[in-house]
Amino acid sequence: MNTPVSGGRRAAATGPGHTADSQDPHARITVGKVKLYIVFASVTARVRPVAPAILWFAASLLTWVALLGMVLTREGLAENDGPLLGWLVQHRGPGWTAAMEAVSSPAASAVVPAAALIAMLTVGLVARVWRPLTTVVLAMGGAGASGLVLKELVRRARPPVATMLGVPETGWGFPSNHTLLTSALAGALVLIAWRATRRPGARAAALAAGVLAALLMGVSRLYVGDHWLTDVLASYAVAGAVLAAVAWTTAWRWPWWDRSAPAAVPSRTATTPN
């Protein structure tokens, strides 16, 4: 025979300080699981975009280290530095020489980055979106600083002056700064285009143009005799590391550089009025 619960006992069971969750351990476990899932989802959403950039950076860094080892030991790809340069010198022609000197010219190395910066600045002023300009500035700045530091650390001599076309280059050769800066700029523009559209055709065209520009500069530096093969390959590796860092840095959404970014949510810890 069931004994009815008195009103006093029912009120005590459901009164202040007592909730269904506090009486039911299964409910508390369920609430805990929900909270844990929310935290896990939030962390995953932040970590997911970081993982490809970290892998990209690590692969580029390891490639550069491997190339440095080949240069120091004069083994592997470094064994092809001299033979490739000699082959290019023997097969130079007027047409190719004019084209390669134009690609490697100081004017081209100054005009193209300046045009890119002006274009991205115009986009920022017109559309009030500063992420593209930030991407280009970080890529060019990171590449330039990395090139200068690594040249001083490695101190590798360039090819003989007799093999160089035009005004002989001076300074250290590992890596090639022309190739590094061009690759970084091309990669930054590809990253901007990749984020601006989801059309596979447009993305493929941007990627192809960026790769072609980087390869063209690298080949020109080899052709004019200013760098060894491993100098150019090291430039691509350093550019990859720089672009990975830039891609990660510019992936965050800040209201001050992207008008489409959500505004910061105010804190709820403020004291409530009496």
**Digit-coded pLDDT (tens) for 108-130:** 889 999 999 999 999 889 988 88
Residue linked to tokens 């200068």: 148
Q: Rounded CA gap, 32 and 265, in Å?
A: 25
Confidence of residue 232 (pLDDT cuts 50, 70, 90): very high
User: What distance in Å separates the CA atoms of residue 177 and residue 238, rounded to the nearest whole number?
Assistant: 10
The whole-number pLDDT of residue 25 equals 54
Per residue in 57-104, pLDDT (tens digit) is: 999 999 999 999 999 999 999 999 999 999 999 999 999 999 999 999
Residues 28 and 126 in one domain: no
Q: What is the pLDDT of residue 159?
A: 95
**What confidence tier does 106 reach under pLDDT thresholds 50, 70, 90?**
confident
CA distance 37 to 44: 10
Whether pLDDT at 265 is above 80: no
pLDDT at 127: 85
Average pLDDT, the chain: 82
Range of the domain at 69: 51-249
62-74 confidence digits (pLDDT tens): 999 999 999 999 9
Structurally, the chain folds into a number of domains equal to 2
Helix, strand, coil percent values for the chain (each to nearest 5): 75, 0, 25
Same structural domain for residues 211 and 244? yes
Does residue 167 share a domain with residue 35?
no
Q: Is 11 contained in some domain? A: no
229 in the same domain as 102: yes
Same domain, 218 and 135: yes
The answer to whether residues 103 and 121 belong to one domain is yes
Looking at residue 273, its pLDDT comes to 41
What is the pLDDT at residue 28? 54
The answer to whether residue 259 is domain-embedded is: no
Residue range 8-58, pLDDT digits in tens: 444 444 444 444 444 555 555 555 555 555 544 444 444 455 678 889 999
- Omega within 30 of 0 (cis) for the link into 175: yes
What's residue 27's pLDDT?
Answer: 53
Looking at the domain assignment, is residue 256 inside a domain?
A: no
